[in-house]
Structure 1
């Protein structure tokens, strides 16, 4: 499996969970980094329970808030975070919060999987404190997560006192998540979408959200990719591009096989983008180009 920089690691999916590791590396270790148009590259560090860390930052409660969560063996500095952050700040005046859960994400894959619900619950607790301290609300919140991070934002949405208005899963992690009650699902937000790019391998293939997008069939190889890890990462590249241009349009499919075959011709729904009021239901297929902006 790839880490946040695309380096491959051999993973034992039957390795026992390291309970001792989880006792010291869990959601309480989450770090929250704020980026705004006032500080687009230099993070403000927000601390759960520390009101001064929020009041002394560039956070503004009247702005929409975007939250980005990385996947396994990654961190807040992994490539998806600056890529998506820069596109959000180019497109609008947002609070962009990058969640660094690298302490729990750096264990064996099976152990990091077990950490996901706790990391999500702590994220929900932090956002509750943030809104209570400095303003903001769940109807102005968009949670975005890649791989294991997709399941984290799913857990955060379900743990929140009110559903976030939008949740986006970018190729939600597949191994150990089929039939898992802790996986991202349509109950995680008012509108939940998933972008599937390596379904059946590193990502989930089955539809799990209100709207499930299957660009280029939803599987490896994606155009321009030769490997599964490249296809897995395409999901966040597609999303980042869509934030800037909103040009990736899916067509509704009658079933999953149509989505696999990219033979969908139903109603249109744009994939990704930053629109908080986005709504839609069903499976959507589309083709993209092999390189940015796809």
Structure 2
């Protein structure tokens, strides 16, 4: 079983001494002070007979005995009422392992058990401690395996998005990337970036808003996401408030909120050679619907294949049924633009070569004319001059 995790604010440089002292001094009482319940691990090397491996940031042996190695690491954090091995997390894990040899970790934390407001507030109060536990895990992984923070990519849904942000804030260094899947809105609206996911938490933060709206008279109504731009790139599919796939499904609580991770999982099925989930930079959904949004200088994609060179606010439309990605019939895919740039670079290289050849030929001609004594010529090789020069050279070479 995974040992209980304790959020601790002490200097991580004293990790070994602190670990030994606390385990020996506090014993079972220490282990009861838990926040995260489990850190599940999957890699391509995880034994097929095991549903997962368990990591414990307070037990180095749990890491050395696992298949974890220092390489690309995805950390998935569920939201309110979720758990560490629910269906969407297993689906995302399978797709990530299918495209690359990586580590996938799922954070299993107590995020409420019933759909009522008090349960939500209790889960919100645990978010900082869960973030601290995640930061502790990263410290241990770095110490034991040499993992670097730029290899880490957090993927958090709802409250899990803010867990990722707070974990990053408590890490010594900059996380590589954080993806926020409809970050929770209630209690996180209009608060400082230090208290929620923020663009400064990673080298790149991309956010998908699928249910991001606000009803002042009914904040616990069907508007569960944060209606603020908080990342380097914020994506607003179908306007970002309610998704067409949920029309007529009012009885299904959180449908639009959950589609954020559904879109993200589907995005792994595509690349940048097509325009599925291609998104246009735009000021608002109204401008997008009015046809006032261009394709942008480079292609940008919502989901896994986001273009990290770009920043801004992006809009797109989806289908109302699976598969949800819809192609953009006007904009060019990322590879098409890349090919265009490469072709332009090739054309420029060709012109440089042509100019270079011309210069070399000109120098040769000038040298030849100088050797032939024709100092009064125009500098151009004419039909009249070539034979005379050739004859002179032939005589000079005769034995």
Partner of 2:283: 254
Match of 1:241 in 2: 266
2:313 maps to 1:291: no
Deviation sequence 1:130-179 (CA, Å, 0-9, x none): 12111211111100000000110011111111111100000001111101
Greater helix proportion: 2
Superposition deviation, residue 293 in structure 1: 3.2
Cα deviations by residue, 1:102-124 (Å, 9 ceiling, x for unpaired)? 2x544711121121112112101
Cα pair distance change 1:286/1:48, threshold 3 Å:
same
Report the equivalent of 1:212.
Answer: 234
Counterpart position of 1:271: 302
Secondary structure of the 1:29 match is: coil
| Unmatched runs of 5 consecutive residues or more in structure 2 | 1-30, 214-222, 325-399
What is the TM-score with the length of structure 1 in the denominator? Answer: 0.84
State the Cα distance separating 1:88 from its structure 2 match. Answer: 0.5
Unaligned runs of 5+ residues in structure 1 are 1-23
Aligned positions of 1:55-70 closer than 5 A: 55-61=64-70, 63-70=71-78
What aligned pairs does 1:53-202 form with structure 2 within 5 A after superposition? 53-61=62-70, 63-102=71-110, 104-106=111-113, 108-181=119-192, 182-200=195-213, 201-202=223-224
Alignment RMSD: 2.4
For 2:41, the equivalent position in structure 1 comes to 34
Query: Is the aligned partner of 1:49 residue 2:49?
Result: no
Structure-1 separation of matches of 2:287 and 2:40: 41
More strand per residue: 1 or 2? Answer: 1
| DSSP 3-state at the match of 2:44 | coil
Higher relative contact order (CA 8 A, sep 6+): 1
How much has 1:209 moved relative to structure 2? 0.9
Structure 1 stretch 240-249 or stretch 84-93: which is displaced more? 240-249
Q: Which residue pairs with 1:18 in the alignment?
A: none
User: Is contact 2:280-2:315 (8 Å) kept?
Assistant: yes
The count of aligned residue pairs is 268
Deviations 1:52-111 (A, max 9, x none): 1011111111x2000000001111122221121111111111100000012x54471112
Closer, same or farther: CA 263–190 of 1 in aligned 2, 3 Å: same
Pick closer, same or farther for the CA change 1:25–1:76 going to 2, 3 Å. Answer: farther
1:203 is aligned to 225
Aligned to 2:22: none
Aligned to 1:11: none
Equivalent-residue separation in structure 2 for 1:278 and 1:194 (angstroms)? 12
Q: Is the 8 A contact 2:35 2:109 kept in 1?
A: no
1: CA distance, partners of 2:179 / 2:61: 30
Query: Residues 187 and 248 from structure 1, CA distance in 2 versus in 1: closer, same or farther, beyond 3 angstroms?
Result: same
CA contact (8 A) 2:78 2:108 kept: yes
- Do structure 1's residue 232 and structure 2's residue 257 form an aligned pair? yes
Task: Give CA deviations for 1:177-196 in whole Å, capped at 9, x if unaligned.
Answer: 10123121111111001100
Structure 1 residues 58 and 121 mapped into 2: Cα distance closer, same or farther (>3 Å)?
A: same
Flag the structure with larger Rg: 2
TM-score by length of 2: 0.63
CA drift of 1:257 comes to: 4.7
